[in-house]
Amino acid sequence: MFALFVCMKRNKRKDIVIIDMGVGNLFSIQKACAAVGLPAILSSEASTIEDAGGLILPGVGAFGNAMNALRRLNLISVLAGYRDSGRPVLGICLGMQLLMDYSDEFGRHKGLGYISGSVKSLRHEISGEIPHIGWSPVFNTERGKSWDNTLLHSFDNNDYQYFVHSYFVNPDNIDDTLAITRYSGFSFCAVVHKDNVTGCQFHPERSGGAGLGIYKQWAVHSGLLP
């Protein structure tokens, strides 16, 4: 009887919370979640975040401004506690960059530190146009880290996703890089994944059916959808 109760409790669906920092593509992410049958609400309330089934950290703009917004909302410790609970966290674009230790965007800014590494400017690596805007392939790393039981579970290697960014994530541990992309001859991290924390540099919600599939697989393999 006790085992049945535990199973029912684990399977009880709770809303996904998209962190509302006042910036970013919040409603397009919310619509993408709805399209794959995943309830999602926008909130910056600590109590709502603490009770969420999963968190999505979006973001558009400068790294330092986003971190200041999280501090102003008193969410740094709330998010850390949520991450420590083992429940799923997904960062999108700038939200992925915030997962790292620090960024060099407009000075040195401390990040959330969920994944060891830094955020660097593409300007120092390529001769092409900045920002990187448009469709680029997402493919497996040279070491071939398995995509099984991740948000890329059903993703086709070298499929294209939509990017808009000037800075890229540089994880300290190559095992935290789930997928890479290439722009102007330079290869860099497109997806990070460590334990219950995942981040995408691209925008799945702007990437058609393949992007929607990424949200669905994240939900399925995080136990948020059957």
Catalytic positions: 93, 203, 205
SS (H, E, C) the chain: CHHHHHHHHHHCCCCEEEECCCCCCHHHHHHHHHHCCCCEEEECCHHHHHCCCEEEECCCCCHHHHHHHHHHCCCHHHHHHHHHCCCCEEEECHHHHCCCCEECCCCCEECCCCCCEEEEEHHHCCCCCCCEEEEEEEECCCCCCCCCCCCCCCCCCCEEEEEEECEEEEECCHHHEEEEEEECCEEEEEEEEECCEEEECCCHHHCHHHHHHHHHHHHHHCCCCC
